[in-house]
């Protein structure tokens, strides 16, 4: 919620120059979701004197503000301090309503203008713009419902920066995403699985193989979408065996079967750990074995030049056939395990089926266990687990290509929701 709220506050304040004289830098950057940490640091050194964050405590005429970066700041409210309230999404202060200090509450988001002390630990406010916590929660719920209603997620198959399009693989079908100058691009931060941590991005940073979540209006036939917002990220998916588990640091060491390297994976409260029942794992293994064989034959018959033509690798080209085969096997097993089957009138949803597998904890994992992990991208051989599945021994033992086939499937991060953080 924080990054989106910052964008609303910044846009509002840019257009409401009658309240405070803001720099052109903030106005230019506001549509991209700033102030960011770098922007706030530049503000502190350029003398523009403003702070944005959440109200931590209120004691008389003093507000303790927790900024989005840096230590807490004490804000002194004077009799002449102008306080106004705006609704999330408002882009003009002409609709702001006067507010009294006693109406400001812990958890409210505020943007303060005024004079900072030399140590930057205290601040005398000349103006405060408030977004009430209750308003933000209501808007957050509306956004969440909108993402669920008009959002899609899948694997990027091709990116055409000149045409402003991204082709996604969504449940085995292609979906063309059209972008425009008003499309908001965001990208997940390294080693973070939280939607709120996503930073401002561009179409040029999106690449084939990335996980993509887009929100907008679909065409009548459902094959295209005009994107209002796109969130993307590179999330490696690998299979391996557990070397060790460190409960004190909430990490596990995993031997990656493809790279033959040992990787350290951190488990957080947002990580989803699940165990596949034997019957489900065996049926997925059978389907993946057949799908992997088909992929190998198809790949051997295609030239590398045709793959380069649309910016798609063979790993990405294989995703569609693999996911549909895996979903069918998983769906059969899921129905027998009482987990629900495919959606009526459509193909089984591989991710939906796997999401019904029983949850486990880090303590349930042991040395030698086979796992498949979707993690954050990291350059130092470590990452944070987004989703982890154990009980996958039948899949990895089925055939060398079966393990690779499961990794080719377009795994979904899930929508911006309660399990992954929301917009």
Mean pLDDT, rounded, for 84-106:
88
- Gyration radius of the chain over CA positions: 24
Contact indicator for 423, 144 with CB cutoff of 8 Å: yes
> Who contacts 153 (Cβ-Cβ below 8 Å, separation ≥6)?
168, 170, 211, 212, 213, 214, 412, 413, 414, 415
In the chain, % of residues over pLDDT 90: 38
- What DSSP element (H or E) covers 299? helix 278-300
Provide the token pair at 295: 């992929």
Name 64's bridge partners: 57, 74
Of 83-92, 161-170, 175-184, the one with minimum mean pLDDT is 83-92
Q: What is the pLDDT of residue 219?
A: 95
373 vs 256: CA distance, rounded Å? 10
If pLDDT is split at 50, 70 and 90, which confidence band does 381 have?
low
Helix axes 278-300, 400-408, angle to 10 degrees: 90
Q: How confident is the model at residue 75 (pLDDT cuts 50, 70, 90)?
A: very high
Average of per-residue pLDDT across 42-58: 71
Residue-wise pLDDT for 111-134, tens only, equals: 999 988 888 788 899 999 999 999
* Residue 359: band (very low, low, confident or very high) from pLDDT cuts 50, 70, 90: very high
User: What is the pTM (predicted TM-score) of this model?
Assistant: 0.59
> How much is the pLDDT for 76?
93
Contacts of 25 (CB under 8 A, 6+ apart): 39, 42
Query: What's the average model confidence in pLDDT over 70-78?
Result: 92
The residue among 60, 59, 67, 104 whose CA lies nearest residue 85 is: 104
Q: 156 has which bridge partners? A: 168
Q: What's the pLDDT at 423?
A: 41
Within 10 angstroms of residue 40's Cβ, the number of other Cβ atoms is 20
Q: Of 31-35, 221-225, 258-262, 399-403, where does the model show the most confidence?
A: 221-225
Q: Please determine, for residue 61, whether its predicted confidence score (pLDDT) is greater than 90.
A: yes
Averaged pLDDT for residues 311-322: 43
pLDDT band, residue 229 (cuts 50/70/90) = very high
Q: What is the mean pLDDT of residues 340-347?
A: 41
- For 302-314, b where at least 16 C-beta lie within 10 A, e where not — what string? eeeeebeeebbee
User: What is the C-alpha separation between 413 and 231, in angstroms, rounded?
Assistant: 11
**Residue 47: pLDDT above 50?**
no
Residues 275 and 260: beta-carbon distance below 8 Å:
no
Q: Is the pLDDT of residue 338 over 70?
A: no
């Amino acid at each position: 919620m924080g990054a989106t709220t910052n964008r609303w506050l910044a846009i509002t304040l840019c257009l409401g120059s009658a309240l405070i004289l803001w720099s052109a830098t903030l106005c230019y950057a506001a549509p991209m979701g700033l102030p960011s940490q770098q922007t706030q640091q530049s503000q502190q050194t350029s003398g523009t004197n403003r702070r944005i964050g959440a109200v931590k405590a209120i004691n008389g005429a003093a507000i303790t503000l927790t900024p989005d970066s840096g230590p807490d700041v004490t804000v002194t409210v004077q009799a002449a301090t102008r306080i106004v309230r705006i609704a999330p999404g408002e882009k003009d202060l002409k609709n702001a309503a006067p507010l009294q200090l006693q109406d400001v509450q812990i958890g409210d988001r505020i943007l303060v203008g005024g004079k900072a002390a030399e140590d930057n630990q205290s601040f005398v406010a000349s103006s405060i713009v408030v977004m009430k916590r209750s308003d933000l929660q209501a808007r957050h719920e509306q956004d969440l419902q909108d993402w669920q209603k008009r959002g899609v997620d899948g694997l990027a198959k091709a990116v055409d920066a000149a045409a402003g399009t991204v082709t996604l693989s969504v449940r085995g079908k292609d979906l063309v995403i059209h972008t425009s100058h008003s499309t908001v691009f965001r990208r997940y931060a390294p080693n973070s699985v939280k939607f709120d941590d996503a930073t401002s991005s561009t179409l040029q940073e999106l690449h084939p193989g990335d996980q993509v979540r887009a929100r907008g209006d679909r065409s009548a036939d459902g094959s295209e979408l005009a994107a209002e917002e796109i969130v993307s990220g590179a999330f490696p998916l690998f299979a391996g065996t557990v070397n060790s588990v460190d409960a004190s640091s909430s990490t596990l060491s995993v031997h990656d079967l493809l790279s033959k390297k040992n990787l350290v994976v951190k488990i957080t409260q947002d990580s989803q750990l699940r165990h596949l029942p034997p019957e489900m794992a065996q049926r997925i293994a059978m389907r993946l074995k057949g799908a992997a064989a088909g992929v190998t034959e198809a790949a051997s018959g295609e030239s590398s030049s045709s793959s380069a033509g649309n910016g798609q690798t063979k790993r990405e080209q294989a995703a569609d056939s693999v996911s549909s085969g895996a979903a069918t096997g998983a769906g059969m097993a899921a129905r027998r395990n009482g987990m629900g089957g495919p959606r009526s009138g459509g193909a089984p949803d591989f991710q939906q089926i796997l999401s019904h597998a029983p949850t486990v904890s880090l303590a349930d994992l042991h040395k030698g266990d086979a796992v498949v992990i979707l993690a954050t991208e990291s350059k130092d051989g470590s990452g944070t687990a987004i989703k982890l599945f154990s009980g996958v021994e039948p899949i990895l033992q089925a055939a060398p290509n079966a393990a690779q086939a499961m990794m080719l499937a377009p795994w979904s991060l899930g929508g911006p929701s309660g399990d992954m953080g929301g917009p």
